[in-house]
Amino acid sequence: MHILGWGYARPTVLLTGILTLLTGILSACVSLSPTPPHIVEGLRQSPEAWVVGAPKGLADPVVLNNKNFIWTIAPMPAGQEGAAFSRMTQKHVLASLWTLETEGGQTRGQLRCELPLNETAFDIEGMAFMPGGDILLAASRNGKLYAVDVKTCKQLREVQVGRPLVCIAIDATGGRVALGAADGSVGVYAWPFPEGGLEEGGLWEGLHADEVRALAFDKEGHLYSGGFDKRIVQWLLKEGEGGSRFILEKQKEFGFEGYVNDFSLDAMGKTLGIALSEAKAERTLEIHLREKRGEKEPVRPWDGGVLLNIETGEQKAFFAHRGTVTTAGISPDGQMLATGGFDKRILLHRQGEKTWERALGWSVRRLRFSPDGRYVWAAAWTPQNAQGKAGKPSALAYELLFGEDAFIHATPPLPPSAEDIAPAEEVAP
C-alpha cells in the first residue's frame, strides 16, 4: 500500500494480538528479568544509543499513579530513565516528574517533582523536555506555555501565546520550539523566547483545517505536523524577520481516510507511527456512557496504528484496534509500534512478530517509548474520585525484555569489548 502525493492509503486490516491479562498491576515495585549485560553496558557507554531487536516479552508495569486522570507523557531525554506526566486533580493540572530506580533486581518509580500549572478546566496535552533535560515545557489549552526548571521544580516562565495549545515539539539542538493549536495553526519559535514573550496570535494560521494533534522534528530539522484534518505534513523551516519566528515551507503531505489522532517519529527520522480512527479522539458523552454500560467498542476499517515510510510513502503495516485509537508511540529503531485507545488495550506490535497485549481498566491516553527503547510509558483516563481512593492505573512504565540477540545502535560505533579483541601475536626478536 502506498501514499503518493496527495492521495490516500487504504489499509489491509491485520487482526493480530494475543490477550494477556495484567497481574500484580497495582504494585509500584516489581521484579524484573535482568536486562542482558551487553545492553546495559552499551547504553552506559553511549547514552544516545538505543536497543535494536525483538523483545521476548514485557515485564509487569511500574505503576506511578492510580488515582488521577493523566493527559500526556514526555519521556526524559537520552541517558535519563524517567518521564513527565500532566496529572489532573480536583483543582489543578500538575506537571509530575518521575524517575525509575533499579536496585536488587527491583525497579521503583520515584516522584521527583510536582508543580501545579493551571486550573483543571484547561487541559495540558503537550509536554516536552529540552535536550539536556533541565527544562520542561508544557502547552495548555488556556493559550499559555509554561517553562519549568526540573532541578528546582519551579516555574521559570509563563508565556501567553493567545490560542488554545494542544501539542509541542523541540528540535534536537533545543533551539527551536514548535507549537500546535486547536484552530489548526502552527508556529515555530527560537528558544530562548524573547523577554517580552511571543507575539499575540503569532502562530501561522490555515496550515491545518482542524485541530493539530501532534508535532515532531527529525534530525535534519524538518517539522512534521498532523491532526484532525486527516493529514500529516513535512515542513522545511526558514528563518523569518528578526529570527524569533520561523517560516514553514511545505515539502511533503500524506493524506488519510481516518482522523490523525496522534503520531510519533523514529530516531532516524525515517518512519512515522500513526494513530488513525474513523472518529476523533475526543471524550464525548456517547463514549462515556458506552464505557459505563460496559459495551465493547465497534470494529471499523480505519481504527488502527500505521507504520509509514516517509521517503516512499509506503504503508509498512496496519495494526487494528476496536474503536478509536488515541495514540501511537514508535520505537527508536522504527520497528515497533505501541498503540492504545478507547478499547482499554495497549498493543505492542513488531512487524512479522508476535503482538503483545496488555489490558487497562480505562481508556489509553498516550504511549511513548523511552529514547533508548527499553521502556514504554503509558497514560490513561482513570476517572477522578473525590475521596482520593486508588482506582485503575493511569501512569505506568513497562520494561521490554530483550534477549541476548538484541544489540545497541550507537553513532559513532561503540568501541569493541575485551572479548571482541583478538590477542596480539608475539613477534620474534
pLDDT in tens, 41-87: 888 888 889 999 999 889 999 999 998 889 999 999 998 999 999 99
**H or E, element range at 288:** helix 285-292
pLDDT one-digit tens code per residue, 322-350: 999 999 999 999 999 999 999 999 999 99
pLDDT reported for residue 387: 55
Given a contact cutoff of 8 angstroms between Cβ atoms, the answer to whether 217 and 248 are in contact is: no
pLDDT reported for residue 244: 81
Collect all residues with Cβ–Cβ distance below 8 Å to 411 and sequence separation of at least 6.
Answer: 48, 49
Alpha-carbon gap, residue 48 to 346, rounded angstroms: 27
- To the nearest 5 percent, what fractions of the chain are helix, strand and coil? 5, 50, 45
Collect all residues with Cβ–Cβ distance below 8 Å to 370 and sequence separation of at least 6.
Answer: 75, 76, 81, 83, 376, 377
Which region among 206-210, 213-217, 413-417 has the lowest average model confidence (pLDDT)?
413-417
- Residue 92: is its pLDDT beyond 70? yes
- Indicate the pLDDT class of residue 415, thresholds 50, 70 and 90: low
Identify which of 314, 270, 317 has the alpha carbon closest to the alpha carbon of residue 3: 314
- Residue 394: is its pLDDT beyond 70? yes
Q: Calculate what percentage of the chain has a pLDDT beyond 70.
A: 85
Taking CA atoms, 41 is separated from 76, 219, 264, in Å, by 20, 25, 27
3-state secondary structure (DSSP) of residue 287:
helix
- Indicate the pLDDT class of residue 38, thresholds 50, 70 and 90: confident
Q: Which residues pair with 341 in a beta bridge?
A: 325
Looking at residue 406, its amino acid is A
The domain defined by 29-411 folds into Methylamine Dehydrogenase; Chain H (2.130.10)
pLDDT reported for residue 420: 44
- Indicate the pLDDT class of residue 353, thresholds 50, 70 and 90: confident
Within 13 Å, how many C-alpha atoms sit on residue 125's CB side? 28
Q: Is the peptide bond before 164 cis (omega within 30 degrees of 0)?
A: no
Q: Is the peptide bond before 192 cis (omega within 30 degrees of 0)?
A: yes
pLDDT one-digit tens code per residue, 247-290: 999 999 999 999 999 999 999 999 999 999 999 999 888 877 87
Collect all residues with Cβ–Cβ distance below 8 Å to 364 and sequence separation of at least 6.
Answer: 326, 327, 340, 341, 344, 345, 346, 378, 379, 380, 381
Identify which of 326, 323, 327 has the alpha carbon closest to the alpha carbon of residue 300: 323
- Residue 424: is its pLDDT beyond 60? no
- Indicate the pLDDT class of residue 193, thresholds 50, 70 and 90: confident
pLDDT one-digit tens code per residue, 111-169: 999 999 999 999 999 999 999 999 999 999 999 999 999 999 999 999 998 899 999 99
- Residue 196: is its pLDDT beyond 90? no
Collect all residues with Cβ–Cβ distance below 8 Å to 208 and sequence separation of at least 6.
Answer: 180, 184, 185, 186, 225, 226, 227, 228, 229, 231, 233
pLDDT reported for residue 199: 66
Given a contact cutoff of 8 angstroms between Cβ atoms, the answer to whether 237 and 246 are in contact is: yes
Looking at residue 124, its amino acid is I
pLDDT reported for residue 102: 84
Looking at residue 42, its amino acid is G
Triad 384, 387, 392: Cα angle to 5°: 45
**H or E, element range at 371:** none
Mean pLDDT (the chain, rounded): 85
- Indicate the pLDDT class of residue 203, thresholds 50, 70 and 90: confident
Identify which of 17, 22, 69 has the alpha carbon closest to the alpha carbon of residue 363: 69
Q: Calculate what percentage of the chain has a pLDDT beyond 90.
A: 64
3-state secondary structure (DSSP) of residue 184:
coil
Alpha-carbon gap, residue 274 to 20, rounded angstroms: 24
pLDDT reported for residue 419: 45
- Residue 10: is its pLDDT beyond 80? no
- Indicate the pLDDT class of residue 414, thresholds 50, 70 and 90: low
